[in-house]
Amino acid sequence: MRILDIFKSPEMTVKLQLNDILQMNDQTRPYGLLLSETQARELIETRNQAILEQGRVELSTDSLQKIIKVFSSSAYISSSDYAPLLNELVEIFYFMKNETHDRISDDELINIMKELFDGPSRGSAELLKHRDLPLWSRMMRGNR
Amino acid sequence: MKNTGIQKYSLMKNTLEPKSYTLFLLREGQRRSILDQKAVDEFQELLMPLLAELILKYTRGESSSVTVETAQRLLGSLLYSTDAYLKSFRHKEAAINCLANSCPAEIYGKGQALISTCLEQTQILYQEIKERKMNIPIRGYHYSIDEDLPDFLNHYDLLFNAQNTMAGIDYPLFSDNMRLQGIFYIEQYLKKLSMETDFCHLFSPADINQLLRDYGRVYRIDIAEALINVFEIIFINSVFSFLAGNQPGDLTISNTQINMLQHYFNAMSPAQYPMVISHTIDKLLNLLGVADPDFINYIEVFVPLFMPRFVNALENKSLANVIIAAQPYQEAVRVALDYGERLSDEAFRKLAEQIRETVEPASKVNVIASNINSLVDFLDVLEADCLFGQDYVLLFDTLGDIELSILAKIAFAEQLRGARVLKLQNLVVAELNIIWQIKLACYFHGLSAKRLDGIEQRLNDILYNP
């Protein structure tokens, strides 16, 4: 038996996280962007999987909520591709946290992702992940 | 931070949980039915906001996630503090009751306070030890006190990495407790070092330095570089010198006295050895005025630790390897090891390539002779895979007795250390792994007895006096 099971009662955990995510609908409603409960569950699962794959630990959904909040204002996101896009952005976010060796704060990284997404990537998560963020990352390393 | 939710993944479970007294007590409390599952669950749930807060502090609020390794370290640090407080209870039951009746934040806070106090006291103790530092020619001792310990104390992070001992302290104690971590390890290290230092100060610095020089000669080591515990050497010699009839406080013992001790112990049953030695220690400490109960307690492990080595030495009639006899005066022959100017890395790389490309062994030797001025470079050439077969013999042929004896000392230090009589002819090639050393041993085997005598004489003469 492991005493320190900080991952206890996953049902309760998911329920708490789900509430956090669904509450974000209040802020994204003006942009016509809403997540259903199923989509929110899927987003949490994507986030959990991304954290696991990147070997990270997070005891809150703060960064997920920030991603939703910041990207909801993008002109490139429509209600039909909102949920799948969020899933991709979450994966990219945790990947980049490791790529940047935690030198960039959550807010800074999310803002840069948004800037590139709305700029050179023109709303393409594919271009953001494979072209514009790696380019930015190289430039950033060169500057340090 | 709204909640402490996190996904359940067995991978992280396995990697996150550190060894901890707190967790041990939770299990123990459950086993003894002092804590029920609900209490254990509650404790865990309340521990998580503390970790979440620590993560936020660690990232200065800039990131809500950290790598698993960082989370593991932070959790370890958190539990180090709770452990610190729970270990302050004399009885386990009291600590478990504390777990049952206090919230983790309270235990954590009290633990942090204890660690902080311990850090302050350890810093004071360190200053005291620094002021009483012994004047002995052992670099590891001085380096540990002058560099390693202040480095630890200046960089100790009681918030994010309290469990880390960080400092690689070279100087060994007579009896160290390596199970301790963080500041509590350093505290016990310094307390023991302080007691050892107090004891060593009972003897004359000149006698101590003479004993260390003799130790170096017996074991054929450069004591300046050796990682040896001075207290233990002094303690053993003082006890047996006293047993041999010398004055308390005398460290010297002659070979004749060692032989006498050999006969003395041979005349009794091995079961009596511990009693005789313990009795001698008690009497000696009494006469030296040593009454510190902590010190008496510290050296209680001496006899059981020392006995196997002592019995073995008696059986093999090699007591002089355990008790250091005063060595006959010998003028130290200082061989001017030429550490001459070393080549730069780039120049050395080019030279190694040149040697490798040269086919004729004689030409190779010429290239080496005309370019290498330093012993270190010479050794690097030997290890640079640029010599083959006959090259070695020709190269060794260019060296004189002194150079060959220096190479022998470097190459065969381990084999020579235990030997009472130096005989290069007795080198066992099969025990060697490095090519140039094998070639050198073979080279020695091929030399005349007269030439070997000369080299062995030089080898005996090479004393690394501090």
Segment (H or E) for A58 = strand A56-58
Q: Hunting for tokens 């060593």 — which residue is that?
A: B200
Structure tokens at B105: 């934040």
Whether B3 and A16 lie within 8 Å, measured CB to CB: yes
* pLDDT of B124 higher than 70: yes
Structure tokens at B190: 């310094």
Identify how many contiguous H helices and E strands chain A contains and give both numbers: 8, 1
Structure tokens at B56: 């936020």
Task: Spell out the residues 6+ positions from residue A67 whose beta carbon is closer than 8 angstroms to its own.
Answer: A86, A89, A90, A93, A110
Give the span between the Cα atoms of B349 and B355, in whole angstroms.
10
Give the span between the Cα atoms of B235 and B22, in whole angstroms.
39
Q: Hunting for tokens 């038996």 — which residue is that?
A: A1
Give the span between the Cα atoms of A79 and A31, in whole angstroms.
9
pLDDT tens track for A121-130: 999 999 999 9
Give the span between the Cα atoms of B158 and B179, in whole angstroms.
18
Structure tokens at B402: 């002194």
| pLDDT confidence tier of residue B171, bands split at 50, 70 and 90 | very high
Give the span between the Cα atoms of B270 and B278, in whole angstroms.
14
What's the pLDDT score for residue A3?
38
Q: Hunting for tokens 């630890």 — which residue is that?
A: B152
Give the span between the Cα atoms of A33 and A115, in whole angstroms.
19
User: Average pLDDT of B363-369?
Assistant: 84
Segment (H or E) for B66 = strand B65-67
The reply to whether the predicted model has a pTM over 0.80 is no
| pLDDT confidence tier of residue B335, bands split at 50, 70 and 90 | very low
For chain A, how many residues are written?
144
B64 contact residues in A (CB cutoff 8 A): 58-60, 62-63, 106
| pLDDT confidence tier of residue A1, bands split at 50, 70 and 90 | very low
Segment (H or E) for B73 = helix B68-87
pLDDT tens track for B45-94: 888 889 989 998 999 999 989 999 999 999 999 999 999 999 999 999 99
Cα–Cα nearest to B108, from B77, B72, B69, B137: B77
What's the pLDDT score for residue B433?
84
What's the pLDDT score for residue B337?
44
Give the span between the Cα atoms of A61 and A70, in whole angstroms.
14
Which sign does the torsion angle of CA B138, B144, B145, B147 carry?
positive
Relative to beta strand B65-67, strand A56-58 is: antiparallel
Q: Are B251 and B233 in contact (CB under 8 A)?
A: no
A56 contact residues in B (CB cutoff 8 A): 65-68, 71
A65 contact residues in B (CB cutoff 8 A): none
Which sign does the torsion angle of CA B261, B264, B267, B273 carry?
negative
Find the angle CA(B265)-CA(B267)-CA(B268) to the nearest 5 degrees.
70
Span between the terminal Cα atoms of chain A, in Å: 46
Cα–Cα nearest to A111, from A89, A126, A88, A84: A89
Give the span between the Cα atoms of A3 and B43, in whole angstroms.
10
pLDDT tens track for B378-434: 888 888 888 888 888 888 888 888 888 888 888 887 777 666 666 787 788 888 888
A118 touches chain B (CB under 8 A): no
In a mutational test of the B interface, the residue from A2, A3, A12 whose CB has the highest number of chain B CBs within 10 Å is A3
Beta bridge partners of A56: B67
Q: How far is CA B421 from CA A72, B48, B426, B453, in A?
A: 85, 65, 10, 12
In a mutational test of the A interface, the residue from B4, B6, B45 whose CB has the highest number of chain A CBs within 10 Å is B6
Identify how many contiguous H helices and E strands chain B contains and give both numbers: 23, 1
- Higher-pLDDT residue of A120 and B390 is A120
Name the residue type at position B77. Answer: S
A5 contact residues in B (CB cutoff 8 A): 13, 44
- Burial of B205-223, coded b for 16+ CB within 10 Å and e otherwise, reads eebbbbbbbbbbbbebebb
What's the pLDDT score for residue B427?
81
Q: How far is CA A21 from CA A37, A53, A110, B242, in A?
A: 9, 21, 17, 80
Residue of chain A minimizing CA distance to B38: A3
Cα–Cα nearest to B425, from B403, B456, B457: B456
Structure tokens at B344: 């730069």
Residue of chain A minimizing CA distance to B30: A3
| pLDDT confidence tier of residue B330, bands split at 50, 70 and 90 | low
Give the span between the Cα atoms of B39 and B99, in whole angstroms.
9
Instruction: Name the percent of chain A in helix, strand, coil, to the closest 5.
Output: 70, 0, 30
Phi, psi of A102 (to 5 degrees): 60, 20
* pLDDT of B461 higher than 90: no
ipTM: 0.84
Give the span between the Cα atoms of B418 and B427, in whole angstroms.
12
- Residues 40-59 of chain A whose Cβ lies under 8 A from any Cβ of chain B: 48, 51-52, 55-59
